[in-house]
């Protein structure tokens, strides 16, 4: 199967990080999702019931990311991946990219983040 739904650029204010001020004030994060699922039925039927609701995926990912304060981006991204796979049986694989554009790094950089791919266990 090579079908993919993608949702890029979800902006969320959250309080993740190892620095004390990151947990207090928080900052902007950007999440990208790529969802592998069989879209053959929905591509023929044109029915929402035969696919995955983008809106519901965003709501699930946002809640998983924002509702708990994590020290590591890896853990926050893992929480999103777990929540998406738990909530949507049609999704076989999820790739979560978390961008932390204002990470406290003493350097000039364009972007920093993590990419995790998780596959449903049979």
**Domain limits, the chain:** 4-119
pLDDT tens-digit series, residues 64-89:
999 999 999 999 999 999 999 999 99
pLDDT given at position 121:
83
Domain 4-119 has CATH 3.30.1130.10: yes
- Measured at the CA of 52, the angle between CA 51 and CA 53, to 5 degrees, comes to 120
Q: Report, as ranges of residue numbers, the positions in the chain whose pLDDT lies below 50.
A: none
Instruction: Give catalytic residue positions.
Output: 100
Are 114 and 97 contacting, i.e. CB atoms less than 8 angstroms apart?
Answer: yes
- The rounded Cα 64 to chain-centroid distance in angstroms is 9
Whole-number pLDDT of residue 1? 60
């Amino acid at each position: 199967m090579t079908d993919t739904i993608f949702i890029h650029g979800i902006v969320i204010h959250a309080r993740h990080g190892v620095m004390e001020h990151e947990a207090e004030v928080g900052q902007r994060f950007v999440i990208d999702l790529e969802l592998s699922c069989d879209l053959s039925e929905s591509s023929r039927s044109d029915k929402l019931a035969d696919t995955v609701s983008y809106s519901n995926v965003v709501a699930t990912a946002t809640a998983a990311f924002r509702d708990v304060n994590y020290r590591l981006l890896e853990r926050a991204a893992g929480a999103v991946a777990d929540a998406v796979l738990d909530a949507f049986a049609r999704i076989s694989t999820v790739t979560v990219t978390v961008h932390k554009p204002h990470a406290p790094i003493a350097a000039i950089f364009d972007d920093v983040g993590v990419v995790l791919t998780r596959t449903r266990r049979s």
